[in-house]
Structure 1
Amino acid sequence: MIRFCVSALGILWLVFAVLGGGAAFADDSQPAYLEITETTPDRYKILWRAPNVAGRRSPISVAFPNAARNLTEPVEHELPDSVVERRLIETDAAGLLGKRIEIVGLTLTNIDVLVRVEFANGATSTTLVQPDQPWLVVEGPRTAWQVTWDYTVLGFEHILAGFDHLLFVLALLLIVRGTRRLLMTITAFTLAHSITLAAATLGLLWVPGPPVEATIALSILFLASELVKVNRGDPSLTASYPWLVAFSFGLLHGLGFAGALAQVGLPPHEIPLALLMFNVGVELGQVLFVVVVLALVFVLKRVRVNWPVWGRQIPAYGIGAVAAFWLIERVSGF
């Protein structure tokens, strides 16, 4: 009965993914990034990276105080997943400290913006700007508590908007039987991606992003094939050794998390704290997803439904189809 309940949730989740359009078929959870580097008290180098949304340019832009003017024209560089703009601006003698910067159009999106300000004396300040308050006042260096909050939120939102990572976890839930085995499996996945997230972020390990993203899609496709075997009653590596499979692929998913974190950067003087809290945010989001799925299973167990035998395979083939789409899309982008 539990298998049928989780299968029903798998079907519902896949329907949500399909109806969600392009956002569901890619990891479009990357925040925008604004880097402001003070060169003199009244001059700043600006780097602005806006992620593409559903394959199109994001509608957001940066509006500096009226006293600011461009010393150089913006130079744009288009990347596969974003647009990067660089320029040099000049302000009045007071500089940007204490001034308000707005992110125009942010309220029309679900994008967060990580803003990093580096002052001429080497001090840095990192702020997270969200759609419900699309502006910031440039302040001095952030406190440890502020860094903790910002990077926890980033990690939490990244995992919940990362449909590929969640689909992998859902596939594990469909395959693994028993509370103890499930806990061991999720723990192994968590431990593994924490290791590679830290190693890649600290520069101890480097793997190009596109192959990582393609292989993540392949890992989901593998679990889909394993789920087909389980539903047929055939031997399955994942069903027999779920923690081994989860740990192995978790190392890969950690590189995906590191790629997302690399795009927004870490505050130089708070790297260990920011890395830790981003990982904590990812784990909190993952736990929330698992708890919600299990809670819905608990509810569905009390609903008497005669599930057809063929219905067991719908989530497996659905997961496989989505993963195959991702794989083709990501390989073609090399």
Structure 2
Amino acid sequence: MALWLTLIAAPLAADELRPSVIEMTERQPGEWVFEWKLPVAAARGSAALPLASPVIPESCEQIGEQVQRAASLTLLGRAQLQCTGSLEGAEFGLSALIGNADAIARFIPLDRPVQTFRLTADAPTATILAEPNWGDVLRDYFIIGAEHILFGWDHLLFVIALVLLVRAPWPVVKAATAFTVAHSITLVATTLGYAGLPSRPVEALIALSIVFLAVEVALVLREPDRMTWTRRFPWVVAFGFGLFHGFGFAGALADIGLPQGEIATALLAFNLGVEAGQLLVIAVLIALLALIARALPKLEAPALRFATYGIGITGSFWLIERVIG
């Protein structure tokens, strides 16, 4: 599994989780602005314009032409709407979302709480409610958090390298939990405006954390009895690097946005989702490593070595890329 993840991760960008964002905002009574932001990966090629077609409530009329432009690997769109009557029960969103892409949709009226929805390729529209449902926020941001660890390749490679180094289930779980606690601290502090670092050095430090663990794993594979600093205190290293990973999570979450009035719920759900995703990865990897050690003992060492160097090379590429630009 580690070998397979390494091979498919190498050509990918580090942080793949950049969901589309759709907002329907009331500027004046009855006057709305419909805006959407699609990452280039979700709006690639000639299909971009059809994919960006807004679905607006039946009681709304578009005023003027839609405006679309590309900016920083993102397709931005905007339309002016005039709406009459209550919008409760109406649908809004996009006509389609490509592949497995998902989107965060926000309905922002003037005099009522914001409603937040998670859209998928199978359900690219949302139904406007009479009142927002905090349970939906909890569910949606939990899924986003789990997806971020499962498809955010730099964070995922860090967890995989940690498993390869420590191997024992309970110490790995404790280290992963320390990682979650640490990135939760910086994520919350950044989101609430109490802390912050420029994204470029943060991304470089995240890549450095992957290289550091890969080097440690390589040393242990060469000398199995060697007790590196991380093997002695895995939770300390995971906590330290987790602080920097938290700034990276905050950058991704800033792109997605948080629902006003449900910020605490969304942050809690996101962090719980990240922890659940980590524990899933750890459980699968430990089970597979045990299976390989028992069924294919001769292949264990070369497979681990190949995976370790693959992780180290990928992390080194990201580190150089992020340092020199």
Equivalent residue for 1:46?
Answer: 34
Deviations 1:71-125 (A, max 9, x none): 465253502x42333443223x22644322242331x321111111111114211
Equivalent residue for 2:101?
Answer: 111
- In the alignment, does 2:237 pair up with 1:245? yes
Q: CA 1:65–1:329 in 2, change beyond 3 Å: closer, same or farther?
A: farther
Aligned mates of 2:308, 2:293 — CA distance in 1? 20
Equivalent residue for 1:186?
Answer: 176
Correspondence list, 1:228-243, <5 A: 228-233=218-223, 236-243=228-235
Unaligned runs of 5+ in 1: 1-8
* Structure-1-length-normalised TM-score: 0.86
Deviations 1:18-43 (A, max 9, x none): 4xxx5x33322211111211123421
Aligned mates of 2:131, 2:39 — CA distance in 1? 26
- In the alignment, does 2:56 pair up with 1:68? no
Q: CA 1:332–1:51 in 2, change beyond 3 Å: closer, same or farther?
A: farther
Identity of aligned residues (%): 39
- In the alignment, does 2:125 pair up with 1:135? yes
**AA paired with 1:297?**
L
Equivalent residue for 1:3?
Answer: none
* Structure-2-length-normalised TM-score: 0.88
Aligned mates of 1:271, 1:309 — CA distance in 2? 46
Equivalent residue for 2:20?
Answer: 32
Q: SS state of the match for residue 53, structure 1?
A: helix
Contact 2:202 2:244 in 1 (8 A): yes
**AA paired with 1:253?**
H
Aligned mates of 1:208, 1:231 — CA distance in 2? 36
Unaligned runs of 5+ in 2: none
- In the alignment, does 2:246 pair up with 1:258? no
Correspondence list, 1:217-296, <5 A: 217-233=207-223, 236-296=228-288
How far the C-alpha of 1:210 sits from its partner, in A, is 2.9
Aligned mates of 2:34, 2:40 — CA distance in 1? 19
Aligned mates of 1:39, 1:161 — CA distance in 2? 36
Q: SS state of the match for residue 36, structure 1?
A: strand
Q: SS state of the match for residue 148, structure 2?
A: helix
Aligned mates of 2:214, 2:78 — CA distance in 1? 43
Q: SS state of the match for residue 69, structure 1?
A: strand
How far the C-alpha of 1:64 sits from its partner, in A, is 2.4
Contact 1:186 1:243 in 2 (8 A): yes
CA RMSD of aligned residues (A): 2.5
Q: CA 1:46–1:239 in 2, change beyond 3 Å: closer, same or farther?
A: same
